[in-house]
Chain A
């Protein structure tokens, strides 16, 4: 078993690195200093660390104001509150106004486990994906977290960056470079394609390995850029492998699965099995909930077998 990492460590250290060379980088938090792991940033750059208190609408507006005056604000808080509570500010102050704000939704998906659906953030891809001008990304491991943060800091425009706190192994090589709008193909395959992102990528790879032993060859794409989506990679997956499983730590409505289906339906229709949460989750730890809804290597492999067996039917 490979080592598991909490991507928030990579997040915090990379932000500190970026801020050391770019004076315009500032952090805005809603009291969420420990849960964002940004205590170190605060110590290093107290004058560039703004805590607006527990007030997400103001937090996003403050980010917009800072950006309009030339700063590059990383506005960080629990994804459930940052997106849901401040959605109109995200739409108007960031997307519509094109303010150069990096909205960092922490502890997304069901990472808060037993705290329940109030704290789960399984709607955030859907909410943010429909907002004009807003880029939506989610890294799969610490290596991608670092590369992605550098990329979005260099990109001029509003971004929603979604980060889980569930421990994950590194699935990318050290030299990997995230590119906006590009999927990373982590495994070749011709019988079907599994498209995943975030914490589900490592599980998708494990599923593909299990399928290989049964003679099913699964391609695995890490679709860390939800918007812009890598439509070419999706169309190629449909055309070349004939079936697609999507898997995300998100609702089955309006997220990665929806984005992939929009492209497939309009280009090269094939069967798609969308895996995620059908609605609010019951009580349980994050890992329990993923298992409960079949978001495991076994569950993904089963969905893949189902699709392959239907081929030609």
Chain B
């Protein structure tokens, strides 16, 4: 097994645990957004295990790469990822959205060390990411900023304000990853507000764009390793994902945006994920 193959195997195992844990959290609290948690799991696992520069034991190291979860409603997947890398205790995940828990439905950087921005209202992450990337440029520092957005989220105009500023300031230390699962709360994105031609839209804003199979850790790893795609331009990764990925009856079904699995459904989902990971 090559070192890349070993890394991919670790990411796959981690993504499966992120899926299982976030489904358990959603089931236990009776709240959350399982569909988006499942679509983003591979992206999160790849970033945290193999891409982001982090210092063990110092989640706030000034030279760390910043990751901003702009799609803050998928906090379950984010918390489960932070547990994967030892920032959160796995036992803490059981408190998700329970009274006085630090694990709010949307992440709070003042409650969870390792959360970089308070998100939840859509379209906030990318402007904050632009500010981070500008700060790094001012300091001539080499840490990078990554922002994960939903695809429906891009209907918020603030993203495009930020996209213009990022290319104006040549922020090649900034990467946006779009979790392109084609489903938003109410329906498929294309039945709501057509997002296409999405890659061309980013290119028109002077971003360098790559498209990748967003539930394939090997492809993701290769894509991240090519950053920045062009010197002097911010990078956009359109990660083509499947909402509800990993659980047959949740896949590509708009209702699983925020539907809560029953006891039997959770058991079946965990069984499928376990089988797949094995």
Instruction: For A55, list chain B residues within 8 Å (CB).
Output: 158, 161-162, 164-165
A122 interface residue (CB < 8 Å to B): no
The size of the chain B interface, using a CB distance under 8 A, is 34
Q: Chain A: which residue is nearest B174 at the CB level?
A: A65
CB atoms of A66 and B127 under 8 A apart? no
B124 interface residue (CB < 8 Å to A): yes
CB atoms of A69 and B132 under 8 A apart? yes
Known A96-B108, A97-B110: A57·B131 in contact at CB below 8 Å: no
List the one stretch of A6-14, A87-95, A239-247, A277-285 in contact with chain B.
A87-95
Per the bound structure, the CA–CA distance linking A63 and B135 in Å amounts to 10
Known A68-B132, A71-B135, A71-B138: A89·B127 in contact at CB below 8 Å: yes
Instruction: For B123, list chain A residues within 8 Å (CB).
Output: 57
B117 interface residue (CB < 8 Å to A): yes
CB atoms of B138 and A61 under 8 A apart? no
Known A55-B164, A89-B124: A62·B109 in contact at CB below 8 Å: no
A47 interface residue (CB < 8 Å to B): yes
A267 interface residue (CB < 8 Å to B): no
CB atoms of B124 and A92 under 8 A apart? yes
CB atoms of A61 and B108 under 8 A apart? no
B116 interface residue (CB < 8 Å to A): yes
Known A64-B131, A71-B135, A92-B124: A52·B118 in contact at CB below 8 Å: no
A53 interface residue (CB < 8 Å to B): yes
CB atoms of A65 and B128 under 8 A apart? yes
Question: Which of A63, A88, A96, A98 is close to B131, meaning CB atoms less than 8 Å apart?
Answer: A63
Instruction: For A98, list chain B residues within 8 Å (CB).
Output: 110
A50 interface residue (CB < 8 Å to B): yes
Per the bound structure, the CA–CA distance linking A92 and B72 in Å amounts to 12
Per the bound structure, the CA–CA distance linking A30 and B134 in Å amounts to 16
Per the bound structure, the CA–CA distance linking A98 and B111 in Å amounts to 12
Instruction: For B116, list chain A residues within 8 Å (CB).
Output: 68
Per-residue contact bits, chain A 87-126, to B (CB 8 Å; 1 contact, 0 not): 0110011001110000000000000000000000000000
Per-residue contact bits, chain A 51-78, to B (CB 8 Å; 1 contact, 0 not): 0110101111111111111110100000
Per the bound structure, the CA–CA distance linking A26 and B131 in Å amounts to 11
Per the bound structure, the CA–CA distance linking A88 and B66 in Å amounts to 23
Q: How far, in Å, is A276 (CB) from chain B's closest CB?
A: 31
Q: How far, in Å, is B183 (CB) from chain A's closest CB?
A: 24
Q: Chain A: which residue is nearest B158 at the CB level?
A: A57
A48 interface residue (CB < 8 Å to B): yes
Per the bound structure, the CA–CA distance linking A2 and B66 in Å amounts to 53
Per the bound structure, the CA–CA distance linking A59 and B130 in Å amounts to 10
Instruction: For B118, list chain A residues within 8 Å (CB).
Output: 92-93, 96-97
Known A70-B62, A92-B120, A92-B121: A61·B135 in contact at CB below 8 Å: no
Per the bound structure, the CA–CA distance linking A67 and B117 in Å amounts to 11
CB atoms of A88 and B127 under 8 A apart? no
Question: Which of A62, A92, A96 is close to B130, meaning CB atoms less than 8 Å apart?
Answer: A62
Q: Chain A: which residue is nearest B129 at the CB level?
A: A65
CB atoms of B162 and A61 under 8 A apart? yes
CB atoms of B117 and A64 under 8 A apart? yes
Instruction: For A53, list chain B residues within 8 Å (CB).
Output: 161, 164-165, 168
Residue from B129, B130, B134 whose CB has the most chain A CB atoms within 10 Å: B134
Instruction: For B132, list chain A residues within 8 Å (CB).
Output: 65-66, 68-69
CB atoms of A97 and B131 under 8 A apart? no
Instruction: For A48, list chain B residues within 8 Å (CB).
Output: 138
Known A88-B121, A93-B117: A65·B134 in contact at CB below 8 Å: yes
Q: How far, in Å, is B141 (CB) from chain A's closest CB?
A: 9
Q: Which of B95-134 contact A (CB under 8 A)?
A: 108-110, 116-121, 123-124, 126-134
CB atoms of A69 and B131 under 8 A apart? yes
Per the bound structure, the CA–CA distance linking A94 and B150 in Å amounts to 22
Known A68-B116, A97-B117: A61·B158 in contact at CB below 8 Å: yes
Q: Which of A167-215 contact B (CB under 8 A)?
A: none
Q: Chain A: which residue is nearest B68 at the CB level?
A: A65
Known A68-B116, A92-B124, A96-B108: A61·B168 in contact at CB below 8 Å: no
Instruction: For A96, list chain B residues within 8 Å (CB).
Output: 108, 118
B136 interface residue (CB < 8 Å to A): yes
B157 interface residue (CB < 8 Å to A): yes
Given contacts A50-B169, A69-B131, 11 further A-B pairs with CB under 8 A are A52-B161, A52-B165, A57-B157, A57-B161, A61-B162, A65-B129, A65-B130, A65-B131, A68-B117, A68-B131, A93-B118
A-B contacts, 21 listed (Cβ < 8 Å): A53-B164, A58-B127, A58-B158, A61-B127, A61-B131, A62-B162, A63-B131, A64-B117, A64-B128, A65-B127, A65-B129, A65-B134, A68-B66, A68-B132, A70-B135, A93-B117, A93-B128, A97-B108, A97-B109, A97-B117, A97-B118
- 6 tightest CB-CB pairs across the interface, nearest first? A65-B131, A61-B127, A69-B135, A58-B161, A55-B161, A62-B131
